[in-house]
């Protein structure tokens, strides 16, 4: 009798899950598609806000944003992936009540088997607010040429160590090729002295490193209407950067300026 061998079940990679996220769910506005590859206990952390539960909190929250922006879509500029994680720098864009806006974000997803289980993200809502107020939309940056091409490199411990060190430095960064929020458009940098940091996520694919960090320190200026020299401030940051010769050289960083503003207002209101 001929010998037969059972075929191994295909493995769904985190990058394939992200592709389904962007193409099948987000750009199609299809909640049913999300339920096929997002775990029921999925959690999204964005700043200090937590959406716990796929159906209970997360899907309804995104649905509200899609209701506000009926034409909302996503363009992916860069992806980075490992065995059980995937990161993306992206832009969302659409029209709301006749006003059009484009804003960037960086998200890091974790996977468990064939399901996405967690995401920690930052989106530049301050940029969106500026555009909606002015009525002038920023251009969408160029898409990645092949965002869904599987290209993993081993984790680089030295690159991750360099990013850990770099995340304890002050904003704005000394490296002009590291772009933060919309500073390259407005020319107004956020100035923040970092006193300590808590890294929640740090992943490397070769010299490219994705991170989420919660930084504590002193606000020195850069937010309209908020006085500088306020201590005990908290700043959440997500980014994808590239390390060359042990030094962070370039990348994209999105920071929770809305959350920072809210925390500074509370600090300023204390007697």
pLDDT tens readout for residues 114-172 = 999 999 999 999 999 999 999 999 999 999 999 999 989 999 999 999 999 999 999 99
Report the mean per-residue pLDDT for the chain.
94
> Do the Cβ atoms of 21 and 35 come closer than 8 Å?
no
Beta bridge partners of 214: 198, 236
- Candidates 58, 21, 18, 24; CA nearest to 40 is 58
> Where does CATH 3.10.450.50 sit in the chain?
14-134, 157-269
The rounded percent of the chain whose pLDDT value lies above 90 is 89
Q: What is d(CA 173, CA 229) in angstroms, rounded to the nearest whole number?
A: 19
Per-residue pLDDT, 230:
86
pLDDT tens track for 219-267: 999 999 898 988 889 999 999 999 999 999 999 999 999 999 998 987 6
b/e code 189-199 from CB counts within 10 Å (16+ = b): bbebebeebee
Indicate the CATH number for domain 157-269.
3.10.450.50
Which CATH architecture fits 14-134? Roll (3.10)
Q: In 3-state terms, what secondary structure has residue 127?
A: helix
Q: What is d(CA 230, CA 221) in angstroms, rounded to the nearest whole number?
A: 9
Query: Average of pLDDT values for 55-79?
Result: 97
């Amino acid at each position: 009798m001929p010998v037969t061998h059972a075929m191994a079940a295909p493995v769904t990679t985190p990058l394939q899950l992200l592709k389904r996220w962007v193409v099948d769910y987000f750009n199609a506005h299809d909640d049913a598609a999300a339920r096929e590859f997002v775990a029921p206990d999925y959690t999204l952390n964005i700043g200090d806000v937590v959406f716990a539960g796929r159906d209970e909190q997360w899907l309804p929250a995104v649905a509200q944003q899609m209701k506000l922006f009926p034409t909302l879509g996503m363009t992916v500029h860069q992806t980075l992936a490992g065995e059980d994680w995937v990161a993306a720098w992206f832009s969302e864009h659409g029209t709301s009540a006749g006003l059009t806006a484009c804003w960037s974000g960086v998200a890091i997803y974790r996977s468990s088997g064939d399901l996405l289980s967690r995401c920690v993200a930052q989106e530049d809502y301050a940029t969106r607010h500026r555009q909606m107020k002015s009525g002038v939309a920023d251009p969408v940056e160029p898409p990645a040429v092949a965002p869904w091409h599987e290209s993993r490199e081993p984790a680089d411990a030295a690159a991750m160590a360099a990013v850990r060190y770099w995340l304890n430095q002050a904003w704005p960064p000394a490296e002009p090729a590291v772009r933060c929020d919309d500073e390259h458009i407005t020319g107004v940098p956020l100035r923040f002295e970092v006193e300590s940091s808590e890294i929640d996520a740090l992943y490397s694919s070769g010299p490219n490193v994705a991170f989420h960090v919660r930084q504590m320190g002193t606000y020195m200026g850069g937010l309209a209407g908020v006085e500088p020299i306020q201590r005990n401030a908290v700043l959440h940051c997500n980014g994808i950067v590239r390390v060359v010769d042990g030094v962070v050289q370039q990348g994209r960083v999105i920071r929770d300026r809305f959350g920072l503003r809210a925390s500074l207002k509370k600090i300023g209101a204390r007697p």
